[in-house]
Structures are given as C-alpha cells and as structure tokens.
C-alpha cells in the first residue's frame, strides 16, 4: 500500500532550480519567499506548506520578473510574437516543460485564447509575456499535481509515466525532469519498475544529485546551525568566525564523499578520515594539509571517527562556555534513534550549572540523575551526551577538563536494539553503526525528506522493504536513495478520501 | 539618498537596483475631499511583540518587581529601570496589570514548550488543549502546536470597513529561529494551523508597500493593473478547473491558495478605483536601500528600526489600519550585544534577575519608545498626531520567564486610540482573562462582538482600560 500522497508545492530550492532549468534564470527568486515551516526536521513537508498572502504576492512578483527576462531573450520564440501559429507551438512546448507533462488540447486552446485576448488588448510581445506569467502562477507549475488514475476514493493506482518522471527528478535532483527523463516518460519506459530503476541509477551518478543529497544532510543533521555558533572569546580565542565556515565545509565535503564515494552507514559513523585545509588542521591539531585547499586526512581513530566527532556537530551542540551533554545526547537520540524526549516540564531552571573548576561537567549534571522529575527524560539524553566529554565546547579534543580527569563512559537506554554501555565517542559510534535502530531511523529520515511527508501506519511495508534494500546493499546510501524510487509509496498513490 | 516627494513620475531605486515606480501611491491615499469636509481620523491598531516576558516578580530569583511593573496605580506610577525609556511618553502610556493568559494554563501538562503555547494563544485566544502529538500541522513534528484559531488582527481586518490597500501588514525582525521556522516564530494566524509569516526584509517590505506592479514606471497604473488582473483571472480559472479532481485535503490547500490570489486581485483593483489624491498626507518617503542581511544577527537593531519606520509610513499613508511588528521569536536566545549584553536572552531568564537581562528589557522598551515618538511626530489628518489615533499593544509570550508564568502577562499600551483608552495611567484589572483584552481591542476597532477565542474564560471588554 502506498500511503498518503498529499499534493506537494515546489520548495524554495526546487522553485529556484526549476526556473533555472526552464528559463535559464540565475536570480534565484525564491530566496525572497517566506521561510518555510520546519516539520520533523525538514522544510519540505507537504502538510506544513501553508499559503499566505505574502507568498502569493511573491509568486506574482517572481513570475512577472521571470517572464520579463524570458521575452527579452531573442531566441525564446524563434519567430515574431505576433505569429499566432508559432506562438501556439511555443505554448505547447514550453507548457510541456513548465507543467512537466504534455498539455491537453483544451489547455493549449485556453492559453492561446489568453494570448490572443492579451494581444488585442495590448500588443503581441506583452501577450507572450503575460502568458508565461500566467503559466508560472498556475497550480500545474507551482504544485506537483498527480491525478494518477483518478479513481474512487481509496483506490490505488500507479502514477503516470510523466508523474513518475517528476517524482524522480525532484527526489533525486530537486528540479524539473531533464530531456532524458521526459523522453523516457514519453516512451512509457517509466511504466515498469525497471524503467524507473534505470533512470534513478543514471540520476544518482549525475552531479545534480549532490545538491539534493546535501540538502538532506543539511536538514537531517542540522548543519545550518554551524554558521551561528557563538563561543566565549575569553575561553576559546582560537574559535574564530572563519573556523565556523571551515567546520561546515568539512562536514559538507565529508558527507558528499561518503555518499558519492560509495560509502555506507559504517563510513558515515566510523570513517577514519576527514577533509581539512591547513587552518582547520591546525585548529584540530592534525598534521598534513599545507594549503588553503581541503585535503583528505587520516584521523587518529582512537579519538575521532565519522560524523559524530566532527567539530561542527560538537561545537554547535554545546553552550557558549561549556559542553552540553543534553544537546549532544538529544541530537543522537532525535536524529539517529528517531525518538524525541518530551520538552522540559514547566517551572524548572533549564540553564546548566555554571562552569566550576572543581567539578567536572558530569558532576555538575548529576542533579539530572538525582532528581526524579528530571531523570525520567534526562536518562535518555545525558548518558549519551556524556560520552562526548573528551571534546570541548568548540569540538577540540581535550585530555583533561581543566585539571580534572574525564570520565567519558555512557549508556544508551530505552531503545529496541541499541541498549548498553560504552566508553567514549568512538565506542558510541561503533555501537550506533551496528544498530538496526539506527539503520531504520536513517531510512525513516530519508523517507520523510524524499516523500515530503511523515510516515503513516500504512507505510510499514514500504519502510520494511526500504530497510531490506538498505541492508542488502550493505547500508550503502546510494542504494537507499535509488531504493526510495522502488517502493509502493513512490510508484503508487491512493486516491484521497479513503476511509481511515 | 535624499528624501523625495511622491508624485506620479517618481521613481526610486530600491534594494538591488531595481527601479520601483510609485505612480499608484496617490491612489492609495485618503481622499482630499474627505479632508476638506473636516476629516475624522481612522483608528489604528499595532501589535508590538518582544520575546520572553520579563523577570520582574515576587520571588528571590526575580528582579525587584518594580523594575518592570510600577508599584503605584493611577497617574503617579514610577517607571522602573527596565521600562524607563518610556518616560517621555508617559502621558500616552497605559499599563494594565492583572491580565492572565488563563487558557494557556490549561495546556501546561504535557503539551510542550510553554513559550510556544503562549505564542500560539497570544492573539488567537484559543487553547490547544489536546495532546501536542495529535494536533498541529504534522503529528509529533513539533514540541507544540501552531495556533488553533484565527488571530484577532486577521479576524477584524475584513470587518472594520477600511478601504486600505492592505487589510493588515506583518513586519518581522529575525523571526526565524536558529532551528528553522517553528510555531515559536508565528504569532499571526489566518485560521487554525495557518500561520501568517511576517516580512523580515525591509527592502522587500518597502517594495511591497509602494510598488504597483509597473516595471520601471513605463506602463500606466491602469494598464499594469489590468494586465495583472487578466493574468490572475486566468490563474484562478486554472485553480477552479483543477479543484474537482483533487481529494479533500488537497482541495483545501489549493483553496487557501486560490483565496489569497483572489485577495491579491482585489488589492490591485483598489489601486485603480480609489479616488486619486495629492501626496500631501504621505509626504516624503525615504526608500530602503541596502538594509543589510535581515537574517544576520548583528543587523537586528538596524533592521528593526527600518521596519518601524516603514510601519509608521504605512499608517501615515493609510496603506493599512492594522499592523504587527514581531521582534525575534518566543524563547529566543538572541545575544543583544548592541545593548551591552553577552548572554543569550532565554538562557538568562532561567538564571534569574541580572543586570544584563534588565538591559535587554530596557532595550526593547527603548525600541517601543522610538516607535511611539515617530507616531507622535507624525501629524494625522484630523490635526492630531498618529499616536493619538493609534493603539500600540506591547505584548510578549509568557509573563515571568523564570517560571514560565501566565499570570499578569505584559500589557503596555501607547496611544489613546482616538480617545478610546485611558492614558497616563496604571490600572489593575484584577485577574481577568486575556480573551477579554482581545475583545476590548476588537471593540475599539469597531467590531462590536462580545467574545473572541474561547469565551468560557471571559466575554466582554475590560472596561477598566477605557477612558
């Protein structure tokens, strides 16, 4: 069973990419659209795509600017704007790309009639411009309309070839289909699962897949936070604004390498390498890179491995002047184990105790364990976060906390398959890499991002089959991304209105 | 850039070097004939939100209460250190103690972040009242829900009979949280789960306020409006044709879209049909040029000032009668370095009273004072000042941040609203629900209904606020 298919509007990123491909735009007009609502960690959730007057005005404005730029290009039509037959051909061809499917003849007729009326009212060039302007505000452009065998409520139908081309292109590239995909749709190649698979395999190998995968990681792992990290300059003078930029670049470079270098979940969590330039290497105290360019460096894998020991994560999940076992533990819990502890109860002081040279962080946070009102939830987070204590608030390795010895032992509790004790971040990462909870969570996260919705009960088969695909592919990310195009949830849709 | 007079031929260079034509502005203005007949000024309502309540309260962890709330009632109140910047405006100031967000209390148990609850209810008056995991846009997606009702400004806008270009305008200063857009970012609602985003970029806001859709001023207002209308008509027809093939929830979503397109078309039509007048009442306009990145924290004060200037201009030019300005977001942990502060705002509220926290409150009070002074310096059509005919409501989310309290929520007001409200007074309403405050504001704007939000908490206005 496919689960719900709520209608999806182009996200800001998708809008920009689409008008770039459709019209050669380089102004990225969606930058000016209102910020998108965050839901389950992602900004493309269909149910969170609310409409406001502000957004509608921005659509109108963007359409006017894009159409004005388009008609200024001499080669847009290839003929005189007053040549009605030629304009009809343009509308048919351009419409097919803009609506991502061939236009029905009555749709073409309506657009041509609109052009003719506008030409009479104003002039031919204006009429072409207004026609483009209208198409760019049409629901068929702004939304991914799927009629998919529009049948009785509750009936399940496979998506049309063009609808699948669109799902493929936005899932893998975050933009409209390219000529090859359109050709495959026209040739009905996407009516078979193998046809879809073939395209997905082509697309994951294309550089255009990098942005979409990068956006997934940015939102799943909250990478945007790195640009906002603030640290006490008194305590951490080496943490400069430039370091923030380098820490983010390290994460982006590493994550891209994991996916497109054929890596898997193990690589993500346990890789003994990263990417740094001279300045970042000096920051970490790693030798090797000598220039401004990022280079692959081998890490001391007794201290650092994979994405959870990246400075960007460790520093952004920490306070201005001290580490935060709560934030670090919560991050692992939410993002890798897919469980969200409830927010703190009312009327408690949620500010950590001030740093104290005579007490370790672990000792200062002991109240969370001692107080019954805190321990219920904090035992889910703190004992995981305390495993990172060998990294200071800026993500650098520390052998001691001031003059005090560090105890980096930790424990995971209340999971299906990951419970147990560990010592330090490397052991934690090893534990997570071998956990079926984590692989299932990664599948779930990618499901939410690629399908633009939260999972429903009816998706259990899709999630299970994705889990199997991921596992059989040795947890390779490319296998997972391609596998996302082979599920019931991707290939089929249920006509809305079905009894729950 | 020097100020300029608005005229049919005026062009100005907006941010990014785009030429913005202003010819239609005169059509947005009040009619000069109304002035000749001895004008009465319209009433305006402004919501001025700043986050995280205050720490003034009666606990050892809290500041001397009088730092924020005056001890004395009546006209002889003394403004404490956190609200001292309002002293020059004291005769325009109304302070109302004893308003409680009772409905928020119903949501405390297990319903998530209390700042978020307060934010969702502040102007909707509707409690979320069910488990956060089962409501909201996405089940389980957020620690709390979006507002579950329409906010007061959106509710009354179509009912006040104002023929202004915008029913409401929403100004924001860095309202997106460090984590993205959450219910903590949203105060204004078009309906349940329908947050209305604020414009955070003053350059975009300027162009929104004053652009009429003509590019480069080469097309006349009438033609530009006719072209936009024809495009939107076609688009609306597209939506209408698509609707029947959609399932119920998709149809609802596209219906909301279609409604907004229809509203946009109505606004465009107003540009043409409104009686053209001179620019006398709008005066000179300082265009917003290169305001800096509105998402950069260091630009917070500068962006805020530009937004306040634009808000005053919107009222002055009668582009709208209802506006809101939201500074940051509920539970914001912004470090107000420009106010001499080194710690995050929310973090500080949970430590207790501190000089730095007082500095944050006083800084926001000084921003309100700036807005008040600008309104006071602007003559209104009836010969009084804009401030005289406006009510500015300084609101926040929780009342006492340290305890996440909901009693005695922030309720400072500037302006008498054309003589409707007491000024120069500190009153105590003695523990009344904030739904009654919303009714008071609604009645003030001429919508004579007796309840708003959840009426079981209270109906009718707070008469103690009225002159």
Residues B286-342: pLDDT tens digits? 778 788 999 999 999 999 999 999 999 999 988 899 999 999 999 999 999 999 998
Tell me: do A147 and A250 sit in the same domain: no
Q: What is the mean pLDDT of residues A83-109?
A: 97
- Measured CA to CA in angstroms, residue B404 lies from A240, A495, B409 at distances of 35, 45, 11
Task: Name the domain boundary from A121, A152, A183.
Answer: A152
Range with top average pLDDT, B56-70, B333-347, B452-466: B452-466
- Please name which of B371, B309, B305, B282 lies closest in space to residue B92, comparing C-alpha atoms: B371
Quick check: B199 contacting A, CB < 8 Å? yes
Task: Point out the domain boundary residue: A117, A152, A187.
Answer: A152
B113 touches A at CB < 8 Å:
yes
Whether B276 has a pLDDT exceeding 50, the answer reads no
Residue B273 has pLDDT above 80, yes or no: no
The answer to whether residues A241 and A96 belong to one domain is: no
* Nearest CB neighbour to A497, from listed B139, B194, B248: B248
Instruction: For residue A293, tell me if it sits in a domain.
Output: yes
C-beta atoms of A122 and B245 within 8 A: no
How distant, in Å, are the alpha carbons of A223, A224, A316, B323 from that of A48? 21, 20, 26, 25
Q: Are B250 and A7 within 8 A, CB to CB? A: yes
The mean pLDDT value for A78-82 works out to 90
- pLDDT reported for residue B289: 79
What's the full length of chain A, in residues?
A: 500
Write down the pTM of the prediction: 0.91
| Residue at a domain's end among A95, A129, A152 | A152
pLDDT value at position A344? 66
CA distance A376 to A383: 12
A318 phi/psi in degrees, rounded to 5: -160, 165
Average pLDDT rounded to a whole number, residues A179-201: 98
| Contact predicate B331/B186, CB 8 Å | no
Residues A19 and A114 in one domain: yes
Note whether B143 contacts A497, CB cutoff 8 Å: no
Chain B residues in contact with A8 (beta carbon < 8 A): none
Cα(A425)–Cα(A431) distance, integer angstroms: 10
Q: How far apart are CA B187 and CA B195, in angstroms?
A: 7
Q: List own/partner pairs for A426-429 with CB under 8 A and 24 or more apart.
A: A426/A301, A426/A302, A426/A303, A426/A304, A426/A305, A426/A309, A427/A387, A428/A308, A428/A332, A428/A384, A428/A387, A428/A388, A429/A269, A429/A270, A429/A305, A429/A306, A429/A308, A429/A309
What would the two tokens of residue B362 be?
């006083």
Residues A50/B256, Cβ–Cβ less than 8 Å: yes
Residues 288-347 of B with CB under 8 A from A: 297, 335, 343-344, 347
Give yes or no for residue A351 having a pLDDT over 60.
Answer: yes
- Other CB atoms within a 10 A radius of the CB of residue B415 amount to 28
* Mean predicted confidence (pLDDT) in B340-360: 87
Tell me whether residues A51 and B108 touch, CB distance under 8 A.
no
Q: What is the DSSP letter of B87?
A: G
B230 touching chain A per CB within 8 A? yes
Instruction: Say yes or no for a CB contact (<8 Å) between B254 and A143.
Output: yes
Q: What angle do CA A156, A162, A168 make, to 5 degrees?
A: 85
Residue B20 has what pLDDT? 34
Nearest chain A residue to B18 by CA distance is A65
**Chain A residues touching residue B214 (CB < 8 angstroms):** none
Q: What is the mean pLDDT of chain A?
A: 93
Residue A206 lies in a domain: no
Q: Which of A49, A147, A347 sits opposite B245 (nearest CB)?
A: A147
- What local confidence, expressed as pLDDT, does residue A325 receive? 95
Residue B144: pLDDT above 70? no
A410 lies in the same domain as A278: yes
**Mean of pLDDT values over A62-75:** 94
Q: Could you identify the residue written with the tokens 């698509």?
A: B242
Give the range among A117-126, A303-312, A347-356 with minimum mean pLDDT: A347-356
Is it the case that residue B213 has pLDDT exceeding 60?
A: no
For residue A354, being part of any structural domain is answered with yes
Q: Which residues of B touch A6 (CB under 8 A)?
A: 249-250, 253
Single out the residue of A129, A145, A142, A137 nearest to residue A91, CA to CA.
Answer: A129
Judge whether A169 lies within some domain.
no
Instruction: Name the band, by pLDDT with cuts 50, 70 and 90, for residue B215.
Output: very low
Residue whose entry in the numeric block shows the structure tokens 């008194």: A234
Could you give the angle at the alpha carbon of A257 between the alpha carbons of A255 and A263, nearest 5°? 90
A22 and A116, same domain (yes or no): yes
Task: Read off the pLDDT of each residue in B184-188 and give the average, rounded to a whole number.
Answer: 95
pLDDT over threshold 90, residue A340: no
> In angstroms, what separates the C-alpha of A497 from chain B's closest C-alpha?
6
- The alpha carbon dihedral of B68, B74, B75, B77 has a sign of negative
Give pLDDT, residue A121.
96
Please give the residue that has the higher pLDDT: either B273 or B299: B299
Mean pLDDT (whole number) for A198-216: 97
Instruction: Decide if A99 is inside a domain.
Output: yes
Return the pLDDT at B26: 36
> Do residue A148 and residue A264 come from a single domain?
no
User: Which residues in chain A are closer than 8 Å to B112, comparing Cβ atoms?
Assistant: 342-343
Strands B390-395, B44-49: pairing is parallel
Token digits of residue B128: 């979320």
One domain for residues A236 and A334: yes
Q: For residue A377, what pLDDT band results from cuts at 50, 70 and 90?
A: confident
Rounded Cα distance between B336 and A315, Å, is 21
Beta carbons of A47 and B138 less than 8 Å apart: yes
Least confidently predicted of A5-14, A87-96, B263-272: B263-272
Which residues 6+ apart lie within 8 Å of B2 measured at CB? none
pLDDT score of A235 more than 90: yes
When divided into structural domains, chain A yields a total of 2
Lowest-confidence region among A258-267, A359-368, B111-120, B458-467 = B111-120
B154 touches chain A (CB under 8 A): no
Considering only CB atoms, which chain A residues are within 8 Å of B403?
Answer: 346-347
Q: What pLDDT score does B353 carry? A: 81
Whether chain A has a CB inside 8 Å of the CB on B239: the answer is yes
Q: Using a CB-CB distance cutoff of 8 angstroms, which residues of chain B are in contact with residue A113? A: none
Same domain, A258 and A390: yes
Strand partners, B390: B44
Does B353 or B455 have the greater pLDDT score?
B455
Q: Give yes or no for residue B179 having a pLDDT over 90.
A: no
pLDDT above 50 for B132: no
Please indicate if any CB of chain A lies within 8 Å of the CB of B78: no
Sign of the torsion angle spanned by Cα atoms B1, B6, B12, B18? positive
Structural element, H or E, at residue B170: strand B169-173
Alpha-carbon gap: B47 to the closest alpha carbon of chain A (Å)? 18
Query: Which residue is closest to B112 within chain A, CA to CA?
Result: A343
Q: Is residue A393 part of a domain?
A: yes
Q: What is the domain range of residue A349?
A: 228-433
- CA of A205, closest CA in chain B: separation in Å? 31
Query: Do A248 and A145 belong together in one domain?
Result: no
Same domain? A24 vs A143: yes
**ipTM of the complex model:** 0.92
Q: Do A255 and A380 fall into the same domain?
A: yes
Q: Cα distance from A198 to chain B (closest Cα, Å)?
A: 31
Chain A nearest CA to B383, separation (Å): 33
Would you say residue B343 has pLDDT above 90? no
Distance, in Å, from the CA atom of A270 to the CA atom of A430, rounded to the nearest integer, reads: 7
Q: How confident is the model at residue B218 (pLDDT cuts 50, 70, 90)?
A: very low
Residues in chain B: 467
pLDDT digits (tens, 9 = 90+) for A47-56: 889 999 999 9
Mean pLDDT of chain B: 83
Over residues A97-107, the mean pLDDT reads 97
Selection from A114-128, A146-160, B341-355 with the highest mean pLDDT:
A114-128
Radius of gyration of chain B (CA): 22
Please report the pLDDT score of residue A346 as a whole number. Answer: 57
Domain assignment present for residue A439? The answer is no
Q: Are residues A255 and A396 in the same domain?
A: yes
| Whole-Å CA distances, A168 to A101, A149, A182, A194, A483 | 14, 18, 11, 13, 12
Average pLDDT over residues B159-172: 91
Give the distance from residue B70's alpha carbon to the nearest chain A alpha carbon, in angstroms: 25
pLDDT given at position B306: 95
Tell me whether residues A55 and B260 touch, CB distance under 8 A: yes
A60: confidence class by pLDDT, cuts 50, 70, 90:
very high
Mean local confidence (pLDDT), A3-15: 95
Instruction: Give mean pLDDT, residues B276-291.
Output: 65
For residue A52, the chain B residues in CB contact (below 8 A) are 190, 194-197, 260
Q: Where are the beta strands (DSSP E) in B253-403?
A: 284-285, 322-327, 390-395
């Amino acid at each position: 069973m496919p689960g719900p298919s709520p209608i999806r509007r182009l996200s800001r990123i998708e809008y920009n990419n689409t008008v770039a491909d459709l019209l050669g735009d380089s102004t990225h007009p969606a930058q000016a659209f209102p910020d998108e609502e965050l839901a389950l960690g992602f900004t493309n959730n269909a149910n969170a795509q609310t409409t406001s007057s502000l957004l509608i005005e921005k659509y109108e404005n963007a359409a006017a600017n894009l159409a004005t730029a388009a008609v200024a290009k001499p080669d847009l039509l290839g003929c005189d704007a007053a040549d009605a037959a030629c304009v009809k051909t343009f509308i048919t061809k351009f419409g097919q790309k803009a609506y991502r499917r061939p236009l029905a003849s009555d749709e073409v007729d309506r657009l041509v009639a609109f052009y003719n009326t506008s030409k009479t009212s104003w002039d031919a060039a204006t009429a072409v411009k207004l026609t483009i302007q209208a198409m760019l505000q049409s629901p068929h452009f702004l939304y991914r309309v799927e009629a998919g065998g529009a049948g009785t409520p509750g009936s399940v139908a496979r998506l049309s070839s063009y609808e699948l081309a669109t799902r493929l292109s936005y899932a893998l590239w975050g933009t409209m289909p390219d000529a090859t995909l359109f050709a495959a749709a026209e040739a009905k190649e996407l009516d078979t699962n193998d046809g879809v698979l073939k395209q997905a395999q082509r697309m994951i190998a294309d550089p255009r897949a990098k942005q979409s995968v990068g956006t997934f990681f940015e939102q799943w792992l909250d990478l945007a936070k790195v640009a906002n990290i603030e640290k006490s300059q008194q305590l951490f003078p080496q943490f400069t604004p430039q370091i923030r930029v380098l820490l983010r670049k390290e994460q982006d470079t590493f994550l891209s390498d994991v996916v497109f270098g054929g890596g898997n979940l193990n690589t993500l969590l346990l890789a003994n390498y990263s990417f740094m330039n001279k300045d970042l290497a000096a920051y970490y105290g790693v030798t090797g890179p000598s220039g401004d360019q990022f280079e692959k460096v081998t890490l001391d894998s007794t201290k650092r491995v994979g994405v959870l020991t990246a400075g960007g994560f460790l520093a952004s999940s920490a306070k201005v002047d001290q580490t935060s076992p709560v934030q670090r533990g919560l991050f692992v819990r939410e993002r890798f184990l897919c469980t969200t502890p409830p927010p703190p109860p009312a009327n408690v002081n949620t500010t950590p105790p001030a740093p104290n040279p005579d007490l370790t962080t672990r000792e200062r946070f002991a109240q969370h364990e001692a107080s019954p009102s805190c321990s219920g939830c904090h035992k889910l987070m703190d004992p995981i976060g305390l495993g990172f204590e060998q990294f200071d608030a800026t993500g650098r390795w520390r052998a001691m906390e001031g003059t005090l010895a560090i105890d980096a032992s930790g424990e995971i509790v209340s999971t299906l398959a990951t419970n147990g004790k560990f010592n330090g971040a490397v052991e934690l990462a090893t534990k997570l890499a071998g956990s079926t909870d984590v692989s299932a969570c990664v599948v779930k996260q990618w499901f939410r991002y690629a399908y633009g919705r939260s999972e429903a009960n009816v998706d259990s088969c899709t999630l299970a089959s994705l889990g199997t695909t991921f596992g059989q592919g040795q947890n390779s990310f490319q296998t997972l991304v391609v596998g996302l195009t082979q599920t019931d949830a991707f290939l089929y849709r249920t006509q809305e209105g079905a009894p729950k | 850039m020097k100020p300029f007079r608005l005229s049919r031929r005026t062009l100005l260079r907006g941010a990014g070097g785009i030429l913005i034509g202003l010819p239609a502005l005169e059509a947005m203005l009040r009619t000069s004939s109304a002035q000749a007949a001895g004008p009465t000024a319209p009433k305006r309502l402004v919501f001025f939100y700043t986050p995280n309540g205050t720490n003034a309260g009666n606990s050892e962890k809290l500041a001397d209460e009088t730092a924020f709330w005056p001890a004395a009632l009546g006209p002889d109140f003394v403004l404490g250190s956190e609200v001292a910047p309002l002293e020059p405006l004291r005769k325009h100031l109304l302070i109302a103690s004893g308003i409680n967000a009772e409905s928020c209390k119903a949501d405390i148990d297990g319903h998530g972040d209390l700042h978020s609850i307060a934010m969702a209810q502040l102007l909707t008056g509707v409690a979320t009242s069910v488990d956060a995991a089962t409501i909201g846009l996405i089940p389980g997606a957020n620690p709390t829900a979006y507002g579950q009702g329409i906010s007061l400004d959106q509710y009354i806008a179509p009912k006040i009979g104002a023929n202004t270009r915008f029913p409401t305008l929403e100004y924001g200063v860095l309202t997106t949280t460090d984590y993205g857009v959450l219910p903590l970012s949203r105060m204004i609602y078009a309906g349940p789960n329908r947050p209305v985003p604020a414009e955070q970029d003053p350059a975009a806001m300027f162009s929104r306020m004053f652009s009429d859709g003509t590019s480069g001023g080469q097309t006349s207002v009438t033609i530009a409006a006719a072209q936009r209308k024809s495009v939107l008509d076609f688009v609306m027809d597209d939506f209408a044709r698509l609707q029947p093939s959609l399932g119920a929830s998709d149809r609802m979503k596209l219906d909301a879209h279609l409604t907004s397109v229809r509203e946009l078309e109505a606004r465009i039509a107003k540009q043409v049909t409104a009686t053209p007048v001179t620019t006398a009442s709008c005066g000179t306009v300082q265009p917003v040029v290169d305001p800096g990145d509105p998402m950069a924290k260091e630009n917070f004060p500068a962006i805020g000032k530009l937004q306040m200037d634009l808000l005053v201009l919107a009222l002055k030019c009668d582009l709208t009668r209802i506006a809101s300005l939201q500074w940051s977001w509920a539970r914001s942990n912004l470090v107000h370095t420009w106010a001499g502060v080194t710690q995050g705002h929310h973090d500080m509220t949970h430590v207790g009273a501190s000089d730095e926290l007082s500095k944050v409150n006083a800084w926001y009070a000084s921003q309100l004072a700036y807005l008040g002074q600008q309104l006071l310096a602007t003559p209104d059509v009836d010969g009084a000042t804009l401030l005289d005919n406006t009510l500015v409501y300084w609101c926040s989310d929780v009342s006492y941040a340290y305890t996440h309290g909901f009693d005695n929520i922030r309720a400072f007001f500037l302006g008498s609203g054309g003589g409707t409200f007491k000024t120069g007074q500190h009153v105590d309403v003695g523990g009344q629900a904030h739904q009654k405050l919303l009714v008071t504001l609604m009645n003030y704007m001429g919508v004579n209904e007796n309840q708003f939000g959840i009426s079981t908490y209270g109906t009718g206005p707070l008469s103690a606020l009225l002159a």
